[in-house]
Amino acid sequence: MITIEDFANVELKTGRVLEAQRVEKAKKLIVLKVDTGEERQIVAGIGKAYAPEELIGKTIVVVTNMQPAKLMGVESHGMLLAASDDEGNLSIITPEREIKQGSKVN
Amino acid sequence: MITIEDFANVELKTGRVLEAQRVEKAKKLIVLKVDTGEERQIVAGIGKAYAPEELIGKTIVVVTNMQPAKLMGVESHGMLLAASDDEGNLSIITPEREIKQGSKVN
In a domain? residue B97: no
Residues 21-40 of A with CB under 8 A from B: none
Q: Which CATH number do you get for residue B54? A: 2.40.50.140
In a domain? residue B41: yes
Domain count, chain B: 1
In a domain? residue A102: no
Q: Do B85 and A97 touch (CB under 8 A)?
A: no
What is the rounded CA–CA span in Å between residue A77 and residue A63? Answer: 9
Average pLDDT for A9-15: 98
CB B103 within 8 A of CB B14: yes
Which residue range is the domain that position B11 belongs to? 4-92
Numbers of helices and strands, H then E, in chain A? 2, 10
Burial of residue B14 (CB within 10 Å: 0-12, 13-18, 19+) is buried
In a domain? residue B55: yes
Q: Do A79 and B6 touch (CB under 8 A)?
A: no
In a domain? residue B101: no
Residues 68-87 of B with CB under 8 A from A: 69, 79, 81-85, 87
- Percent of chain B as helix, strand, coil, to the nearest 5: 10, 50, 40
Model pLDDT for residues A26-58, shown as the tens digit of each residue:
989 999 999 999 999 999 999 999 999 999 999
Which among B4, B97, B81, B88 is positioned nearest to B36, based on CA atoms? B81
In a domain? residue B46: yes
Tell me the whole-structure pTM to 2 decimals. Answer: 0.96
CA distance B21 to chain A (A): 20
Model pLDDT for residues A58-85, shown as the tens digit of each residue:
999 999 999 999 999 999 999 999 999 9
**What pLDDT tens digit does each residue of chain B (106 aa) get?**
999 999 999 999 999 999 999 999 998 999 999 999 999 999 999 999 999 999 999 999 999 999 999 999 999 999 999 999 999 999 999 999 999 999 999 9
Mutate to test the interface with A, among B4, B11, B59, B85 (most CBs of A within 10 A): B85
Coil, helix or strand for B97? Answer: coil
In a domain? residue B34: yes
In a domain? residue A103: no
